[in-house]
Structure 1
Amino acid sequence: MGEIHSSHHKAEEKCDLLLRKNQSIGEVLHKQTKLEQNNYEIRLRVTIFSCRFLLKIALPFCGHDEMEKSNNKGLFLKVLSLIREDNEKILKVTLENAPKNEKLTSPTIQKDIDNGFQKR
């Protein structure tokens, strides 16, 4: 196994940590609260709705500059913002109120949703 600071020892230690039941990815996902699951579902539904709307009328998703202070953030974010204005639940869990590591508003996810509807 080598010395305590060897690559082999560090790899074995990381493997042991990964295999511990209470630290596995499956366990973490299982521990997600019902509220977190509901909030994610709200964010996912509004993202899909916004994408479907723009796809149906053949409008572009992104704007020239989607920075926080930009006046032209793109139609996807505008549609999402309009939906948020009328629904308190959606307002509380989307955009700046969503978890920082969530990527539902990213262009990659938008393209995946687009590809899913194109294959229908």
Structure 2
Amino acid sequence: MGITNWKKALEKFIEHIGAVNSAHNDARVQFQGFQSQRQSVSHQLASHSHEMEVVYHIRLTAILDVTHFLLKQGLPFRGNDESSNSLNKGNFLELLDWYSLRNEEIWKIVNQNAPGNNQLTSPKIQKELANACATEIIRVIVDDIGDNYNSLMIDEA
């Protein structure tokens, strides 16, 4: 249909290009790879996988920081409406948004900037992170107790 209002052209171009995993961006990356055929495929895969590994590590560390904070404070993770246009997405997603706004490196790689299948924000991932933290805490307590005798006093209140 074309563009009739050139003041909104930039918005339309961004809409056309799409997100990180869009077909347009994939085609652009493949074309750039085609233009620089001097690099071997194995070199491109190795460098790309190393970059992905570093980005994943940073993303996972940020999400573990948020998880650690929520568990330490005894706060719930989930909210009633976790959609992207919700005003209160729950403690986990809101704290992750807040954390990413204060750190530019993290902002570049979390939420909408992360690949769709690697955002690490799904309810299942949240539960797995909380369970992993609980398992680690139990392991530390058991290692600390060791072979010593211990007792537990329980009050009916």
TM-score normalised by L of structure 1: 0.71
Contact 2:110 2:119 in 1 (8 A): no
Tell me the distance in 2 between the aligned counterparts of 1:50 and 1:70: 19
Tell me the number of residue pairs that the alignment of Structure 1 and Structure 2 aligns: 92
Structure-2 residue corresponding to 1:81: 97
Contact 1:103 1:109 in 2 (8 A): no
Deviation at 1:38, TM superposition (A): 0.9
1:101-112 to structure 2, matched below 5 A, reads 101-112=117-128
**Do structure 1's residue 113 and structure 2's residue 129 form an aligned pair?**
yes
Q: Deviations over 1:43-97 (max 9, x none)?
A: 1001111111001111111110011111110000111011111111100000000
| Structure of higher CA gyration radius | 2
Name the aligned partner's letter for residue 104 of structure 2: E
TM-score normalised by L of structure 2: 0.55
Q: Deviations over 1:97-118 (max 9, x none)?
A: 0001115111111111111111
Q: Which runs of 5+ in 2 are unaligned?
A: 1-41, 138-157
Q: Which runs of 5+ in 1 are unaligned?
A: 1-26
Name the aligned partner's letter for residue 85 of structure 2: K
Partner secondary structure for residue 108 of structure 2: helix
RMSD (Å), alpha carbons: 1.6
Provide the identity percentage. Answer: 40
Contact 1:43 1:90 in 2 (8 A): yes
